[in-house]
Amino acid sequence: MGDTAASQTPTFSLEGRRTPVDLSPEEFAEMGHRLVDDVAALLAGMRDRPLGPGETPEQIRTHLNASAALPEEGTDAASLLKETTDLLTTHSVYNAHPRFFGYITAGAAPIGILGDFLASALNPNMGGWSLSPMASEIEDQAVRWIADLVGFPEGGGGILVSGGNMANMLGFWAARAAKAGWDVRVSGVAAAGAKALRVYCVRGTHTWIQKAADLSGLGSDSVRWIESDGHDRMDLDALRASIVADLAAGDRPIMVVGTGGSVSTGAVDPLPELRALCDEFDLWFHVDGAYGAFAAAAENAPDDLRALSLADSVALDPHKWLYAPLEAGCTLVRDPGALLAAFSYRPDYYYFQQDAKNFFEHGIQNSRGFRALKVWLQLKQVGRAGYAKMIAEDIELARRFSEIAEEREELEVFGHSLSITTYRYVPTDLASRRADPAVGTYLNELNEAIQGRMEKGGDAFVSNAVLGDVYALRMCVVNFRTTLEDVIALADITVDLGHAADDELRPDALR
């Protein structure tokens, strides 16, 4: 007993407590001003910097001193912040660079950067309204504005999440709860007498669906990958046949996932027809609009995309085409109770007002950050017309690139949809021999090498798409800093790198 009491006696005093994590108001202000100046300079000089460090993982680890042990004692905060700013600004890939065309990753809108700072300073816990009264209402308003921007009907529900994967998963879980036909949240997917639940999507759907099927207990085998119609859009006859076959086998189809802008090529599924099929078979209709949904606000987007307004749930990604800093995804549901029906529990250790929205009940997270602020600030700063214009310009820039590339003898364009153009470099003397399998293999290697060299060189950044047997380069404009000169430059950069790589890599047999 005595020993225990002794071991609990603190060796320190609480008199005049001063903690090593705190900063004086003066220190904080000075460090903050300096940081803002450094970030402003970074953004101002972005165009003139190499897009990435072009360093190997080993070199990056050396700069970080990656193997260093946890420091026992702390260090001066001001110099730490300055050194870290320098470390990051010299060894990062800048998705804010006007020639960043990779994946679907936007540079952060300046007011969003500041919004994240303000959000962290207030640090409201967005799980419960009473912990975040104004902040929760701001999230609710931001979600309603997002719905309005893309033409999703009023009166539904929604929530902000970390990104597209999570936004889609929430739609998936809402579908599972709504359409399983028994209380799947209580009894599970393996309930007595339960039928196997089936979901349908076009081949090429983003990998979130495998994770969702896996983590929700359906298993990834429950995903029916429907063939496309040759333009990366779901083939409706194949979809119908798959549903009918599953029903005949005694399984239970629950949802169809339509893609509103595919990750590889920007293809948009025939969303109106998918809605009709879902009605016919009483299925949940979810749209993965993580990439493309916001383009529904733009005049030059495919009409089919606007039919996302017919969905039961839609996933969107403000950190893509609203140019919000990572992380910000959003799930919208037509039925305002659908997320509660999928996620709500009310433990007795929470006392939250019931006349307001407690976001922890509408999703998976409990404690939640104020990601809504940056999104809300941006929507308010830019407005509907501003977003419609920026997104339309991004689409037009990708289309113009496809025209520019088509005019170049050495570039082959595969297609353009939304703000993605897929293309590759083909040496002129090999163009007529493209069908030869050895040439095809070499062209794949060559274009992969071009992509790698571009990334290392730092003049531009593209990613890739695999189109059948072809390794294609893929440029995607989700970038409010990109200009026409930048897409012209991308064609030049690709051709120059192509020439150089072909000189070095071409096997003798193909010379």
Ligand X SMILES: Cc1ncc(COP(=O)(O)O)c(C=O)c1O
Q: Which residues make up the interface to ligand X (CB under 6 A)?
A: 104, 163-165, 168, 206, 208, 259, 261-263, 288, 290-291, 317, 329
Q: Which two tokens stand for residue 205?
A: 């759907």
Closest to ligand X by CB, 224 or 286: 286
The residue type of 150 is: V
- CB 301 to ligand X: min, Å: 15
Sequence-ordered strand ranges (E) for 402-460 = 411-417, 420-425
- CB nearer to ligand X: give 136 or 162: 162
Does residue 72 have a cis peptide bond before it, meaning omega lies within 30 degrees of 0?
A: no
Closest approach, Cβ 287 to ligand X, in A, equals 10
User: For the chain, what is the radius of gyration of the CA atoms?
Assistant: 26
For ligand X, give the closer residue by CB, 56 or 207. 207
Q: How far apart are CA 170 and CA 281, in angstroms?
A: 22
Q: Pick the closer one to ligand X by CB: 358 or 451.
A: 451
In the complex, the smallest distance separating the C-beta of residue 286 from ligand X, rounded to whole angstroms, is: 11
205 or 451: whose CB is closer to ligand X?
205
Torsional sign, CA 218, 221, 222, 225: positive
Asked if residue 143 lies in contact with residue 379, where contact means CB atoms within 8 angstroms, the answer is no
Phi and psi at residue 288, to the nearest 5°: -85, 95
Q: Edge-to-edge strands of the sheet including 470-476?
A: 100-101, 461-467, 470-476, 420-425, 411-417
**Which residues does residue 465 pair with via DSSP β-bridges, in sequence order?**
472
Query: Which 8-state DSSP code applies to residue 463?
Result: E
Residue 354 is classified by DSSP as S
CB of 20 to ligand X, least distance (A): 36
Nearest residue to the partner ligand X, using Cβ: 164
| Rounded least distance, CB 273 to ligand X, Å | 19
Between 211 and 252, whose beta carbon lies closer to ligand X? Answer: 211
Q: How far is the CB of 104 from ligand X (least distance, A)?
A: 4
In this complex, which beta carbon is closest to ligand X, that of residue 174 or of residue 180? 174
Query: Which one, 212 or 333, has the nearer CB to ligand X?
Result: 212
Q: Which is nearer to ligand X, 206 or 275 (CB)?
A: 206
Which is nearer to ligand X, 312 or 410 (by Cβ)?
312
Instruction: Name the strand (E) or helix (H) holding 120.
Output: helix 110-122
Show the beta-strand stretches assigned E in 290-350: 313-316, 329-333
Smallest separation, CB 482 to ligand X (Å): 18
- Least CB distance from residue 168 to ligand X, whole Å? 6
Q: Between 263 and 450, name the residue whose CB sits nearer to ligand X.
A: 263
- Structural contact between residues 180 and 189, judged by C-beta atoms closer than 8 angstroms: yes
Q: CB neighbours of 87 closer than 8 A, spacing ≥ 6?
A: 63, 64
- Residue 470: C-alpha distances to residues 203, 266, 466 (Å): 17, 17, 6
Cβ proximity of 272 and 301 under 8 Å:
no
Q: How far apart are CA 22 and CA 251, in angstroms?
A: 59
Cβ neighbours around 286 below 10 Å, total: 31
3-class DSSP state of 76: coil
Helix (H, G, I), strand (E, B) or coil at 22: coil
Q: Strand pairing partners for 333?
A: 157, 313
Q: For the CB of residue 30, give the shortest distance to ligand X in the complex, in Å.
A: 36
- Collapse the DSSP code of 467 into the 3-class scheme (helix H, G, I; strand E, B; otherwise coil) and give the result: strand
Are 391 and 321 a contacting pair, CB within 8 Å?
yes
In the complex, least distance from residue 472 CB atom to ligand X, rounded to whole angstroms:
16
Nearest distance from residue 227's CB to ligand X, in Å? Answer: 18
Q: Determine contact, residues 401/490, Cβ cutoff 8 Å.
A: yes
Q: Name the minimum Å distance from CB 160 to ligand X.
A: 12
Residue 377 CA: distances (Å) to CA of 111, 141, 498: 7, 11, 43
In the complex with ligand X, the residue whose CB is nearer, 309 or 358, is: 309
